[in-house]
Amino acid sequence: MLKKEEMFSDLDPILHSQLRLSIVSILMTVEETSFSFIKDTTKAAAGNVSIQINKLQEAGYITVKKTFKNNYPNTTVSLTEKGRNAFEEYVKNLQKYIHPQK
Amino acid sequence: MDEKNFTPEESLLIISMTIEETRKKIQENGHIIILWGSLIFTVILSQYILELLGLHKKFDIAWTCILFLPGAIYTFFYTWRKSRKNNIPKTILGTIVGAMGWLFGLNGFVLAAIFGDHIGNALAPVLLILLAITTIVIGLSIKFKPLIIGGIVLNLLAIGTFLVNPAYHGFSLMFGAMIGLIIPGILLNIAKKRGNV
Reported ipTM: 0.77
Q: What is the pLDDT of residues B33-45, one digit of tens each?
A: 999 999 989 988 8
Structural contact between residues B126 and B119, judged by C-beta atoms closer than 8 angstroms: yes
Interface test with A, best of B12, B15, B28 (most A CBs within 10 A): B15
Structural contact between residues A52 and A96, judged by C-beta atoms closer than 8 angstroms: no
pLDDT at A64 over 80: yes
pLDDT at residue A101, as a whole number: 62
Interface test with A, best of B3, B11, B143 (most A CBs within 10 A): B11
Q: How far is A10 from chain B (nearest CA, A)?
A: 11
Mean pLDDT, chain B, rounded, equals 84
Query: Is A25 in contact with B8 (Cβ distance < 8 A)?
Result: no
Structural contact between residues B109 and B147, judged by C-beta atoms closer than 8 angstroms: no
Q: 3-state DSSP call for residue B13? A: helix
Lowest mean pLDDT among A1-10, A29-38, A65-74, B33-42: A1-10
Kind of pairing between the strands at A72-79 and A62-69: antiparallel
Find all residues with CB under 8 Å of A79, minimum gap 6, and list them: A24, A27, A28, A61, A62, A87
Query: Is A42 in contact with B18 (Cβ distance < 8 A)?
Result: yes
Average confidence (pLDDT) over A82-102? 84
Name the residue in chain A with its Cα closest to that of B16.
A25
Lowest mean pLDDT among A79-83, B20-24, B83-87: B83-87
Average confidence (pLDDT) over A44-54? 94
Q: How far is B75 from chain A (nearest CA, A)?
A: 22
Number of A/B CB contacts below 8 angstroms equals 73
Q: Could you give the CA distance from residue A57 to residue B87 in angstroms, rounded to a whole number?
A: 22
Q: Could you give the CA distance from residue A75 to residue A67 in angstroms, rounded to a whole number?
A: 6
pLDDT at residue A102, as a whole number: 53
Average confidence (pLDDT) over A44-70? 91
pLDDT at B55 over 60: yes
Query: Is A32 in contact with B89 (Cβ distance < 8 A)?
Result: yes
Q: Which residue type does B84 have?
A: R
| Residues of chain A contacting B88 with CB distance shorter than 8 Å | 37
